[in-house]
Structure 1
Amino acid sequence: MADVFSPKERLIRTLEKKETERPPVICPGGMMNSAIVEVMNVTGHTLPAAHHDWNLMSALAEDVHRLTGFENIGAPFCLTVEAEALGSEINYGTLGCEPKIAKEAFPSVEAVQFLPPGTMEKNKRVGTVVQSIAELSKKNPDIPVIGSLTGPLSAAASLVDPMTFLKQLRKNPADAHRLVAYVCAHLIEYAGLMVENGVSIITIADPTATGEILGPRFFKEYALFYLNTLADAIRALGVPVIIHICGDLGAVKPYLGELRGDALSVDAMVNLSALKQENSGLIAMGNISTYLLESGAEEVIAKSTRYLVEQGIDIIAPACGLSTSTPLGNIQALTRAVTEGK
């Protein structure tokens, strides 16, 4: 069947639980960054320079959309923007290696120094992302521009050593909650800047907020509460929210139906069809293995993708962050299997 909707209409309608002629196929950016080395080598728009230059960020984001076939434009290309704005030191990586936290800002949750409201708006890297989103949204009215946020727990664990932070969720819950609430407030501010500049959708990727890491008790107490706080604030601004949770969801299945995003993106080991059956009304996104995308054969990738479409998965996407060495042809095999059925 010929396409009926624009990519933006199709994705928004899907998130609103309205009928479309086929599922969207997307890769949001942020943790799920698809700025692979092959795309950058073809175009000359490269990282790490594009982390700091809104013109370059915009050009690279458009390159990714045009060459991969993903039906969205996503920014930024990493999970370090919020941490840098709130005080951590960043290693910006290389052409083939994404940025990482070089040094967390504080040794413990008790030692955190709280920055005032307005901190995000004054930060240069936040400004780069927001200006890029404004430019991309104006130039591409029919393509959904997706702004990616680091989830509250992952952002908090980027300010305090992750192992220390996770221990203090149990040992010092008062200060741990104070830190995550503080981070969440700044994330809401950052999201508001994205919305003011025309973003279509916001994704929240929170790789620390997994059942495997937190267990059910702390997932409910911290991850569920703060993800919903953030999602509620964004949706109140009139923009849909996609939440990505990494890992095996078995330990936290009872709480997934309580997440208040518009769609749930999951990792490759999750049976999406079963997840939809267990959670009535869930808009499910995913979940082509990134290992398969990096090293599998194109025909196997296409077959796996068509299977998800046949199973009624709402939004087709990679299961997690792509390796920067993923072949472009493998990504195109994924997107063509959705857009052309091949």
Structure 2
Amino acid sequence: MNDTFSPKERLLRTLDKKSVERPPVICPGGMMNAAIVDVMTSTGHTLPDAHGDWQLMSGLASDVKELTGFENIGIPFCMTVEAEALGSQVDFGTLECEPKIQKEVFGSVEAVEYLSPGAVSRSPRAGVVLQSVAELSKRYPDIPVIGSVTGPVSTAASIVDPMTFLKQLRKSRETAHRVMDYVTDQLIDYARLLADNGASVISIADPTATGEILGPRFFDDFAVPYLNKLALAVKELGVPVIIHICGDVNMVKPMLAKLRSDALSVDAMVSLRKLKSELDGVTVMGNVSTYLLEFGEERAVQSATQGLKAAGIDIIAPACGLSTSTPLRNIKALTHTVTDD
């Protein structure tokens, strides 16, 4: 295929609802990153070391782009940068296992201690990400560098014991809102710096903010307003925003139309064709099953991807977080089906 646009132009035009010759195929980083074992073992840029070294992070991000065929660079490779900066303990995992929150710093929303503005951005790991974004955006001017930010609900549930936090959305509503506002302000500062350092798109993944976990009432009360506060602050800089919502969105579908993102990414059980028709004017992204990518045959991956293209899906991407054991051949089957047809 003779492409009309560079990968960066194509993605930005798509997010701006302008015509393109084919959909972009991307993997934004953060929760949805493609730093798989097959890539790392073939290049020597490995995790967990790359979480704390900007040169290793840049090298691995470049490897992912070059080897997988995804038309973007996406960093960081986890969802723990923000919560660690706000006090939680992180287990950085292994080559095969991504970082996770080892212990939330607070037991309840009442116990939260409010750090000064910019606490996330001043953290050492945020510095690694920001330096990597700056270097990669200069090295690859025609490739979109996507800065990935953990969503407000997921960040709050990573600094407060999550089960307690979810109960307190009802029992301590006012204090929970104060925590959400605090967390969102910290995320805004970090996202702005990602954009200032060269990120051409900001991707927000909020896996705790699902209909199944929150239900319609609390999704509308706690997910939508803070996702929008974060998204609108980024969009004011002229930088587009992708929001990913996990799980079955049927029970919160009326609220999805309120989200102020430039594209909406959803999980594999959601029919993107149907969602696109029901949410008129919404740019949709996804949603090749990550189970299929990990365990399926190349031909099945190709078929699923072709189905999304035929349905007019705006941006082709994995449906959710990729397993690190996903075979590279299946990722290439996804990307090449988009770029080579």
TM-score by length of 2: 0.99
1:319 alignment partner in structure 2: 319
**SS at 1:90 equivalent:** strand
Paired with 1:246 and 1:196, the residues of 2 have a C-alpha distance of 28
Q: Partners in 2 of 1:125 and 1:332 — Cα distance? A: 30
Percent of aligned positions that are identical: 68
Structure 1 position 54 matched with structure 2 position 54: yes
- In structure 2, C-alpha distance between the alignment counterparts of 1:133 and 1:114, rounded to whole Å: 28
Distance 1:121 1:281 in 2: 34
Partner amino acid for 2:318? P
CA distance in 2, matches of 1:118, 1:278: 39
CA distance, structure 1, for counterparts of residue 201 and residue 253 of structure 2: 25
State the Cα distance separating 1:169 from its structure 2 match: 0.3
Amino acid at match of 1:275: L
1:254 maps onto 2:261 in alignment: no
Partner letter of residue 302 of structure 1?
Answer: Q
1:19 partnered with 2:19: yes
Secondary structure of the residue aligned to 1:122 is: coil
Aligned AA for 1:22?
Answer: R
SS in 2 for 1:202: strand
Cα distance per residue 1:50-89 (max 9 Å; x no partner): 0000000000000000000000000000000000000000
**AA partner of residue 291 (structure 1):** Y
Following the alignment from structure 2 to structure 1, what is the Cα–Cα distance between the partners of residues 286 and 121?
A: 32
Amino acid in the other structure paired with 2:335? T
Q: What's the counterpart of residue 197 of structure 1? A: 197
- Alignment partner, residue 74 of structure 2: 74
Return the offset for 1:120: 2.3
SS at match of 1:119: coil
Match of 1:217?
A: 217
Give 3-state SS (helix, strand or coil) of 1:242's partner. Answer: strand
Counterpart residue identity of residue 124, structure 1? P
- Amino acid paired to 2:278: E
Letter in 1 for 2:19: E
**Structure 2: which amino acid aligns with 1:86?**
L
SS in 1 for 2:326: coil
Alignment of 1:283-298 (within 5 A): 283-298=283-298
| 1:24-39 equivalences in 2 (<5 Å) | 24-39=24-39
What are the superposed Cα offsets for residues 180-218 of structure 1, whole Å, 9 maximum, x if unpaired? 100000000000110110110000000000001111000
Is 1:92–2:120 an aligned residue pair?
Answer: no
**In 1, distance between residues paired with 2:71 and 2:100?**
27
Aligned residues: 341
Distance in 2 of aligned mates of 1:196 and 1:225: 24
What displacement does 1:322 show? 0.2
- What one-letter code is carried by the residue in structure 1 that aligns with 2:156? A
Tell me the amino acid that sits aligned with residue 95 of structure 1.
Answer: L
Tell me how far apart the structure 2 counterparts of residues 79 and 62 of structure 1 sit (CA, whole Å): 19
- Give, as a single letter, the amino acid of the residue that structure 1 aligns with 2:118: G
How do residues 1-342 of structure 1 correspond to structure 2 at under 5 angstroms? 1-341=1-341
CA distance in structure 2 between the partners assigned to 1:253 and 1:209 by the alignment: 13
Q: What is the CA distance between 1:119 and its match in structure 2?
A: 1.4
The offset of 1:33, in angstroms, is: 1.3
Letter in 1 for 2:109: V
* Cα distance between partner residues in 2 of 1:192 and 1:331: 31
Deviations 1:71-121 (A, max 9, x none): 000000000000000000000000000000010000000000000013123
Write the distance in 2 (CA, Å) between the matches of 1:219 and 1:248: 13
Name structure 1 gaps, 5 residues minimum. none
Contact kept, 8 Å, 2:265 with 2:284, in 1: the verdict is: yes
- Code of the residue aligned with 1:288 in structure 2: it is V
Dislocated runs of 4+, deviation >3 Å: none
1:204 partner amino acid: I
Deviations 1:156-197 (A, max 9, x none): 000011111000000000110010100000000000110110
The one-letter amino acid paired with 2:301 is I
Q: Which amino acid aligns with 1:206?
A: D
Give the Cα–Cα distance (whole angstroms) in 1 for the partners of residues 229 and 154 of structure 2.
15
CA distance in 2, matches of 1:155, 1:56: 25
TM-score, structure 1 normalization: 0.99
Query: Deviation digits for residues 234-262 of structure 1, max 9, x if unmatched?
Result: 00011000000000001101111110000
CA contact (8 A) 2:54 2:131 kept: yes
Structure 2 residue ranges without an equivalent (≥5)? none
Rounded to whole Å, the distance in 1 between the matches of 2:256 and 2:44 is: 41
